[in-house]
Structures are given as structure tokens and as C-alpha cells.
Structure 1
Amino acid sequence: MSWLHEIFARAPEIALFLCLAVGYRIGKINFGKFQLGGVAGSLLVAVLVSQVGVNVDAGVKSVLFALFIYAVGYESGPQFFNSLGKQSVREILLAVVLAATGLLTAVLLARATGLDKGLAAGIAAGALTQSAIIGTAGDAIAKLGLAPDEVKLLQANVAVGYAVTYVFGSFGAIIVCVNILPKFMGRGIREDAIAAETAMQAGVQVLGPGQQAALPQLVGRVYRVTAAVGRTVADVEQSSSPPITIERVKRGGKIVEAVPSFVLQKDDIVLVVGRRTAVLEQAAKLGREQFGEEGMDVAMLRTDVVVSNEKLNNRSLGDLAANVKPDVRHGVYVVGITRMGKALPMAQETIVQNGDVVTVFGSEKDTARVTSLIGHVITRSEKTDFVYMGAGLVVGLLIGLITLRIGSIPLTLGSGGGALLSGLLFGWYRARKQTFGAMPGGAVQILKDLGLAGFVVVVGLSSGLQAVETIKQHGFTIFLVGVAVTIIPMIITMLIGRYVLRYNNTAIFAGALAGSRSANPAFGEVLDKAENSVPTVPFAITYALANVLLTLLGPLVVAFM
């Protein structure tokens, strides 16, 4: 295997991408109804490859994780800030429960098996996948007033405990969140994610990629005039509620302009566009429907506009519809309205606010007239605004450098927590403005997938060799204690979450549980199963709390041992 070691020594990036390719392939293999998934598969392959000896710069891990967690925050920012309030109490309590049970399990089992303070703290760091515990525990050990050699030994044991338990800490969290929890709840993550998404849309039908309604709300029909002879275009259009639009008229084989005063004659061909109910209501009053007429098709636009006109702010849709002039709204239909990414019902009482995104439908001429009165047209782009993205990452990583101290205990969000917080803020602000800071959905997804999978591969390549060697030297005691510290707190938290905190939705619960353990690989697998961003909001809340609460376990484990 020396040739393989030489290849990886010259180009460690080969090992990285090899683990990703093989890991994702293994992750697709079905073991009955169980699948490892790409992230867990990549982690296991990385541990195996690490036995050859691979040295990957630690900076690669930091960059990949920062990209992953920033993308998660950016995507969920609007929903996260909308969710803050009384509804977040469950997430706060869930994070507290897991941190407390994690502390008790680590301390009690370490005492029962005769492990020292260093190994106990290291097991807590690895089994709970909170690397910051290594630093806080090592700092606490240094302040115990022990002999220098003993301090050095205990601090080394922190790293040993972490290395042995970290791999299963990541893998075990995936097992609980993706396999045990759905069986315990009796429902799958995907089906509950769909149900939650539907509920969040307040009953509004939201079509997924590639989907379209079998009964669209807006239709176009062509009629040969037999019953509306002698009526003007304006009379026909305003005779229905809601109004319809005659977009095109054909007389004697020639297209003529459909001005409001134009008088219809027998056998004129008209193209009528409007809401389905209104068009069908007027059908008998127009004449006989034609199923094909050359030259009568018109290209229509569906345009998204950010509301910025103060005259529209805090007014209901019903009020706006009643007071807009007929010549202004002619040929234009409002087909949707969203706020911070959430669809609002098209009801008379729905209030429009600045920053809402209104979707209008009509011909190019008509929509151009109306959009200028609403606000700014959103220009969709497949390109990422790297100015905005780069600024967001810089702000997040700077926040991660801030350290506050409570006595001798340092509190810091770290680069991950800082990037998450920045992503939340930048994603929320982007949702309010929509005119800059674009990051297409595909770009967000590749950052999440590559960032997370790459991160766990680097962890596996870096710690896999040491973990195996330590197990050979110290037996499986440390490993088994680590397994217990990984599983027991999550099971207890799962039970409390279900029966005390009343979590009923599997997708939301899985996101909250993964975040309360700061279990990024588990969260990645939960997202993959959900196939939408529903688990992201509870994860973002509990993850931010877990970064602080679990970091505090370092000095607490040292103190209670």
C-alpha cells in the first residue's frame, strides 16, 4: 500500500474525492429498509482510507464546514426569524435536556468504568460531536493546580477520548435521527415534511418542481362571436366579476386592435383571458368556442415584483382591488403573494406589506404598466452574488472569533456558529429586499452537499488512524462508553420531546433533535430524507443553543469527575 500512501501524500485531494465518490455509492446500498446515506458512507470510507496515512490540511475542513453552515443559514433565515417567539420554547427546552443528559451520562459512565477526567471530557467531546469541548476541558484541567506532567497526560487523554468516539458520535446521531426516530414516531420524515410545508403555506397550494395544476386558475379561450354582437370590448370585459380581458380580435382573417371602444360583430374571433370561473361564466354570452385559430395566440408573462410603493403598504388585497382604476388593472392578474418565502392566501383580507413579493400575470405591455406602480421587478439569475456571499462569510467568521468569559469559562460561537448566525441574517435580509444577494437554489444545495460531506471526510481522514490505534492500545472500554454517551442522551431527549414537549411532526422533530446534538451529518441526512427545508428552522434554533450549552460541558465534566 506504499504506492497508495505516496499518491495521497502528493495529492491528498484525491483521497478526499475518492471518499466522496465511494462513500455516496455505498450510501445508496439498501440493507433491508436501511440506507447509510452519502454522508455516513463517506465518513466510513474516510476512516478506512485513513489507515493508509493521509494528511489533509485542517483549513480545508474549516472552509468546507463554513460553506455548509452558511448555506444552511442563508436558506432558512426568513423562516427562522419568523419562527422566533413563544413557538421556540420547545426547541430551547430540547437543547437543554440533551445537554443535561449528555453531561450526566458522560460523568456517571466514566466514573463507573474508572476513566480519568481527560478521557471523560474527550468522550463527551467526541460522542456529542462538539469539538469545542476539547478546548474548554483542556483549559479547565490546566486550572486544577495539578503537577505539569499530570496536566499534560490529562489533556492528551482528552484528545484520545475524542478521537476514539467521534466517528460513532457522528454515525450514531444519524442512526437515531434518520432510522430510530421515524420508527418511534410511526411516520416517515418525508411524509411529515410535506405535511408541515403544506401547513406553513396556510392552506395555499404550492407546486413543486415540474408540477403544474390540472385546473389552472388562469385560462385563455378562443370564441367565435355569435351572442355578443354589438357589444364593445370594454362592456364584455367589465360584465363579469372578476373582469376578463379580450387580448386579441380577428375579423375577416385579419388581426385588429382590441381597444375598449371596439364593437364586436358576428363571426369575429376573440381571445379571452381571465380567471377560469369568469371565462366559463361569459362563454355562453360570447358565442361558440373555437379549438384552434391561426394567429390568435399571445405570449403572457408571469412576473415577480417586490412591493416598495408606500401607497400599497398595510392595505388589504380587497381594498386595493376595489380602488384600482380599470384602465390600470386591465389585463393584469395577481396570481400569488409571498412574504419571506411563505405563500400568503389570496383572500380579500390579506394585508400587503413592503417587502412582499407579488406575482402578476399578463401580456408584456400590461405587466410593464403595473409593475412600475408596485415596486421593483425581480430579475431571476442563475449566478451567485459572490460579493454578498463573501461578505456574509467574513462577518460570520469574525463573529466566531468573539469570546466572552464567565469566570474562567470561555463562551464562543466558533466559526460554525458564527457562519450560521451570519447566514440567517443575510438570508433574512435578502428575502426582504430581493434585488441583490442572489444565490440560486442549486448553488445553495451544492454548498450544503459538498460542504457537509467534505467536512466529515476530512474528519474521518484526520482522526480515523488515531482512533484505530487507540482502540488497539486501550481496548473497547472508551469506545463503548462513547457509544452509550452518543445514544442514551438522544433516546431520553427523544422520549421527552415526544411525550412532554409534544413533538408530533417527525421532520420537525428530527431537525430539532439533530441541532440539539450539533449533529451536522445527521442533519444532512434528515434534509436528504425530507427533500425540503422544513427541518432547517428547528435545527437552526437548537444548533445555535447547542453550540453554547455543549461547549460548557468541558469544564463541567472536569469539575464533576
Structure 2
Amino acid sequence: MDWLHAVFQKSPETALFLSLAAGYLIGQINFGKFQLGGVGGSLIAAVVVSQVGVQIDNGVKSVMFAVFIYAVGYDSGPQFFNSLNRRTLREIAMAVFLAVTALVTVIVCAKVFGLNKGLAAGLAGGALTQSAIIGTAGDAIARLGLSAAETKALQADVAIAYAVTYVFGSLGAIIVCVNILPKFMGRGLREAAIEAEKSLAGDAAGPAPGQVSVLPSLVGRAYRVMPGGGAGRTVAQIEMAEDDSITVERIRRAGRAVEPRPDVMLDADDIVLVVGRREVMVGATARIGEEVADTDGISVIMQRREGVFAKRGMNRTTIAAVRATVDREMRHGVYLQAISRAGMPLPVLPETRLEHGDVLTFYGSPQDTKRAVDAAGYELPYSNKTDFIYMGVGIVIGLLMGLVVVRVGGIPITLGSGGGCLLAGLVFGWMRGKHPMYGVMPPAASQLLKDFGLAAFVAVVGLNSGLQAVVTVKESGLSLFLLGVFVTLFPLLLTMLFGRYVLRYDNAAVFAGALSGSRSANPAFGGVLEKAGSPVPTAAFAVTYALANVLLTLLGPLVVGLV
């Protein structure tokens, strides 16, 4: 192995990327329905590679963690701040209860079984599957003023305890949310999801991510005008009869195009292209004529255009009220297809209240949609390039906040670089949600920062502390594993009882989404969605997950300070 040691000494980055590649390969291996995942796999692979002898500069670790934790905050910021209202007090209470319960459980276990700060923090990170705790705890340990050797040993213990307890941390959350909770509620997740769909949106539930409806809400159809149908009626009469839910976009008469002005009267055998909402178009045959497949020379290109709602005097106004203030000519040919607020979709219903900063998706001809976005506010240009100015300023501010130390009763309290970047990410992500013109970070770019940043950070920890890790696992591996089982299950089960009997959750699907989010348990949420076969659990999950990403991440320095 001397040759491999020599290679790593000359090019330590080789060891880093080898650990990542091997770790993600290990993470894809199925153990029944469980996968270790890329982060856990990278840690194990790095520990194995470290046995050859390799050291990575700690500056690499700091940079990787900074971009990772900033991206976590950036993505969670809009949902985090939007969740702080009276309508989601139940979800807020659940996320806070689980975080506090988990913190108390870890501290009690550490006191009873004599765990040091590193092992206790790693126990929290692995048993709660909150990988960011590795970073926040390691950063807090580095600020204790210990010797370099003591700091390195404690940071190594964080990684060790995380690796020992992580596997059951993921598996236990799946068991509780997918298996135990439905039995406890006496209702399967699928049945509960169907019940929630009926109460929220009748039989018309929206598609899950990656799915499209086979019956789209907006469609185009070509009709041949028939006597007794549309013949003898003007374009305006056809459209107004359906409360402007359809639009005549094209008319072909005897092979010639006729401009579809409101006062144009339709003749028998005219071919008309009508665009509108599907539920209205179904009955259009009786009122216009027979549907035809021949669309030669009549087809039209439609466009989806996104605009930011910023109309003065209309903030927090319902869609119905906005529509009532816009004259028919302005809204003609334009359909509101979707609404999102800080990245989260909203239902397109008359009673939905629009807020400044909401992104509206309009459907119609290019000139109609351009008119609509200008009237609503301003157009949101499409971009797949990250705004590095915005991102760089955010990370710099976060790192500077992490340098601030406040002494309370002689005890130094600081956010650290991790807490500072997390807070900056939350604020900058929230500001981006309010002002979508600035701070672009496409979802794929954000995901890369989170995946690569965390995996590289964990791999560096494993490479620099792997030799010590093997010794500690041999000495206390079994006891750590059993403690991890307890820390995984106890807060979850206690929170489940709290949610049912105190918060009064009565729908198993919604409850399961909220509980998995409170534990920031993505694998468990995936299992909940699979069993529910519906996006119903997503709303509650989004609120608790955003909170849990912040609250559980902060457990790292809290455990280090309290143990």
C-alpha cells in the first residue's frame, strides 16, 4: 500500500474524490428497502481510505461546509419564514417539540453513559439523520479553546458516532412514519390521503412532482360552425356565453383567415380554433358545432409566461377581486395557469389571496401573456445561471456573523461559521422569494451545492480522523449503536403521541408528512408519499421540514455546549 500512500501524499485531492465515488457507490446498495445514501457511504469510504494515511487541508472542509449550509438555508428560507404564522402553529409546535425532545434525550444519554462532547454530537447527527450536525458540532468544538490534538479527537468522535448510528436513524424514521403511525391512527395512508383530497379539493387532486394530468386544465379545440350552433353569433357572444372561460383565437372561412374581432359574426362551415378551460370546452360542441381534426392553417402557438405580482393597491387581494377590477379587453385570451409563492405552489381558486412577490404563470398567445404580466407587475425572465454576486455576498455576511462572540455569564456564545451561513442563507433565500428578479440559484445548482458540499465535508472529516475512528468503534461501537436506536425512536414516538393527543392530528397522511418533516427524514417522507399515492402529505411536510432543517442543525453546538 506504500504506492497508494505516496499518491495520496502528492495528490490528497485524489483521496477525496475516490472517497466520494466509492461512497456514493456504497450508498446505492440496497439493504432490503434501505439505502445508506451518498453521505453515509462517503463517510465510510473515507474512513477506509484514511487507513492508507492521508490528510486534507481543513480549509477545504470549511469551504465545503459553508456552501452546503448556505444552500440549505437558501432553499428553506422562504418556507421557514412563511411558516411562522397562526395557520401553521400546529406544524411549528410539532417541529419544536421534536427538536427539544431530541436534545433532552441526547443530553440525558450522554450524562448517563459518560459520552464526551464529540460522541454526543455524533449520536445526535446520526440518530436524527441530520448530517449538518457534524459540521455545526465540529465548528463548535474548534471554538472551545482546546489543544489541536484534543480538538481533532473530539471531531473524530463526532464522525464515528454519526457513522455508527446513521443507518438505524434512517431506518427507524421509516418504520415509525410508514408503519407504526398508520396502525396507531387505525387508518392506512392511502385511505387517509383520499379522504383529505376529497375534503380539500373534491375529486380533483393535483399531480405529484414529475407527473402530468392526462386531462389538462387548458386545451385547444377546432370546430366546424353549424347552423343552430355558433352560426349567426358574434365572437363576443360565443366567449361571453361562457363567462370568458373560452377564447376564439382563429377563424378560417372558405380557406381564408378572418381576424377574430369581437364583432365578427360566424358563418356556417367556418372553422374556428377555440382555447379555454377543459370543463367548459366539453360542452362547446353543442354551442358551436362539431369538432374537427383538420387544423391546417388554423393552429396557433401558445405561450406560458411568468410574471411577478406587484400591482399597487392589490396586495393580499383574492383572485376573484383582482379579476373584477380588470376590464374584459385586458384579460381577454389570458388564463392564469399556476401560482407559486416563495417556490411553493398555490391553488388557483377564486378565494386564493395574491401577495406581492407571488409568481403567476399565464397561458395564452405571446401578445396576450405579455400584456398580462405587464399589468400584473413585471416579467420574470428565465435563467439557469446562478447569481454568484448574491450568493457570494450572502456567504461572506454569514461567515462574518460567525465571527461574532457574545459572552453571557462568562460563557462565549457564537453562531460559528455554520450557524452564520445558515442564518444568512435563510434570510437571502427569503428575500429571493419576495423579490424573484434577484439572487437566481436554479434548483439543480442548489442541489449540487448541498450534495457535493456535505459529501465532501464529511469525506474530509473521515479522511482526517479515520485512523482514530477504527479504534473507537472497536471500544464502544455496540453501546453507541443501541443508544442510537433509542435516540431515533424515543423522540419520534413521543412526538407522535404529542401530535395525536395534544395537536389533534386526525388524518394519518397529513400527520405522517408532518412527523417525517419534523425529523427532516427524507427517506421516511419518500415512503409516506409512496404509501399515500398522493401529494397530500407534502404541505405539512414542507412546513415542518423547513423548521427542522434549522432546529436540528442547531443541536450540534447546543449538545457541545451542554454536555
- Give the alignment partner of residue 328 of structure 2, picking from 309, 326, 329: 326
- 1:509 corresponds to: 515
Using the alignment, how far apart are the partners of 1:380 and 1:370 within structure 2?
17
Q: Judging changes above 3 Å, is the alpha-carbon distance between structure 1 residues 499 and 210 closer, same or farther for their aligned structure 2 residues? A: closer
- 2:311 corresponds to: 309
Using the alignment, how far apart are the partners of 2:60 and 2:141 within structure 1?
25
Q: Per the alignment, in what secondary structure is the counterpart of residue 441 of structure 2? A: coil
- 1:517 corresponds to: none
User: Is the 2:152–2:465 contact (alpha carbons within 8 Å) kept by the matching residues of 1?
Assistant: no
Whether 1:107 and 2:105 are equivalent positions in the alignment is no
Q: Per the alignment, in what secondary structure is the counterpart of residue 219 of structure 2? A: strand
Using the alignment, how far apart are the partners of 1:213 and 1:135 within structure 2?
47
User: Is the 1:61–1:459 contact (alpha carbons within 8 Å) kept by the matching residues of 2?
Assistant: yes
Whether 1:496 and 2:494 are equivalent positions in the alignment is yes
Percent identity between the aligned chains?
42
Using the alignment, how far apart are the partners of 1:353 and 1:215 within structure 2?
29
User: Is the 1:77–1:424 contact (alpha carbons within 8 Å) kept by the matching residues of 2?
Assistant: yes
Q: Judging changes above 3 Å, is the alpha-carbon distance between structure 1 residues 526 and 415 closer, same or farther for their aligned structure 2 residues? A: farther
User: Is the 2:124–2:487 contact (alpha carbons within 8 Å) kept by the matching residues of 1?
Assistant: no
Structure 1 window deviating more from structure 2 (248-257 vs 120-129): it is 120-129
Structure 1 window deviating more from structure 2 (407-416 vs 446-455): it is 407-416
Whether 1:379 and 2:378 are equivalent positions in the alignment is no
Q: Which has the larger radius of gyration?
A: 1
- 2:83 corresponds to: 83
Using the alignment, how far apart are the partners of 1:465 and 1:6 within structure 2?
17
One-letter identity of the residue aligned with 2:346: L
One-letter identity of the residue aligned with 2:493: L
Using the alignment, how far apart are the partners of 1:139 and 1:359 within structure 2?
48
Whether 1:277 and 2:279 are equivalent positions in the alignment is yes
Using the alignment, how far apart are the partners of 1:210 and 1:344 within structure 2?
17
Q: Per the alignment, in what secondary structure is the counterpart of residue 128 of structure 1? A: helix
Q: Deviations over 1:340-396 (max 9, x none)?
A: 233333322222222222221111121222221111111111111111111111122
- 1:226 corresponds to: 226
Matches within 5 A, 1:57-206: 57-85=57-85, 86-87=89-90, 88-110=92-114, 120-129=116-125, 159-160=152-153, 162-164=155-157, 166-176=159-169, 178-187=170-179, 203=201, 205-206=205-206
User: Is the 2:117–2:154 contact (alpha carbons within 8 Å) kept by the matching residues of 1?
Assistant: yes
TM-score (ref. length: structure 1): 0.83
Q: Judging changes above 3 Å, is the alpha-carbon distance between structure 1 residues 501 and 368 closer, same or farther for their aligned structure 2 residues? A: closer
- 1:441 corresponds to: 443
Which sections of structure 1, spanning at least 5 residues, go unmatched? 111-118, 143-150, 515-522
- 2:461 corresponds to: 459
Q: Deviations over 1:203-246 (max 9, x none)?
A: 58544555322111111111112232232222222222244211
Q: Deviations over 1:292-325 (max 9, x none)?
A: 2211110001111111111433332222323322
- 1:519 corresponds to: none
Using the alignment, how far apart are the partners of 1:103 and 1:168 within structure 2?
14
User: Is the 2:5–2:54 contact (alpha carbons within 8 Å) kept by the matching residues of 1?
Assistant: yes
What is the deviation of 1:466? 2.1
User: Is the 1:160–1:470 contact (alpha carbons within 8 Å) kept by the matching residues of 2?
Assistant: no
Say how many residue pairs are matched.
522
Q: Per the alignment, in what secondary structure is the counterpart of residue 7 of structure 1? A: helix
Using the alignment, how far apart are the partners of 2:344 and 2:200 within structure 1?
9
User: Is the 1:169–1:482 contact (alpha carbons within 8 Å) kept by the matching residues of 2?
Assistant: no
Q: Deviations over 1:474-493 (max 9, x none)?
A: x614x445445544333322
One-letter identity of the residue aligned with 1:121: K
What is the deviation of 1:548? 5.1
User: Is the 2:406–2:412 contact (alpha carbons within 8 Å) kept by the matching residues of 1?
Assistant: yes
